[in-house]
Amino acid sequence: MSSLPSIPDKEPADFDRIIETARPVVFRSLVSGWPAVQLGRSSPEELRAYLLQFDVGMAVEAYVAPPDVGGHFFYADDMSGFNFERGYMRLADATAMMIAEGRKEQKNGVYAGSIPIKQVIPDFEKDNRLPLLAGKPAEARIWLGNETVVAAHWDSSSNVACVVAGRRRFTLFPPEQVRNLYVGPIDRTISGPPASMVDIRNPDFKKFPLFRHALEAAMIAELEPGDAIYIPAMWWHHVEALSPFNALVNYWWQDGPADAGPAFASIAHGILTISALPERQRDAWREMYDYYVFRRHGDPAAHIPVHARGPLSATSPAIRHGIKEFLRRILSQQ
Tens of pLDDT, residue by residue over 204-230, are 999 999 999 999 999 999 999 999 999
Distance CA(225)–CA(150), nearest Å, equals 19
Give me the pLDDT at residue 15, please: 87
Of 14 and 314, the structure prediction assigns the larger pLDDT to: 314
Q: pLDDT value at position 326? A: 86
Tell me: the pLDDT tens digits for 176-206? 999 999 999 999 898 888 999 999 999 999 9
pLDDT attached to residue 11: 61
Is the pTM value of this prediction over 0.85? yes
Highest mean pLDDT out of 73-82, 131-140, 217-226:
217-226
How high is the mean pLDDT of the chain? 93
Q: Side chain identity at 318, as an amino acid letter?
A: A
> pLDDT band for position 83 (50/70/90)?
very high
The pLDDT tens digits for 88-98 are: 999 999 999 99
pLDDT at site 136: 87
What are 243-288's pLDDT values in tens digits? 999 999 999 998 888 888 888 889 999 999 999 999 999 999 999 9
The fraction of the chain above a pLDDT of 90, given in percent, is: 82
Question: How many CA within 13 A on the CB side of residue 171?
Answer: 20
The Cβ of residue 220 has, within 10 Å, a number of other Cβ atoms equal to 15
User: Domains in the chain, please, with CATH?
Assistant: 2-255 (2.60.120.10), 259-332 (no CATH)
pLDDT band, residue 9 (cuts 50/70/90): low
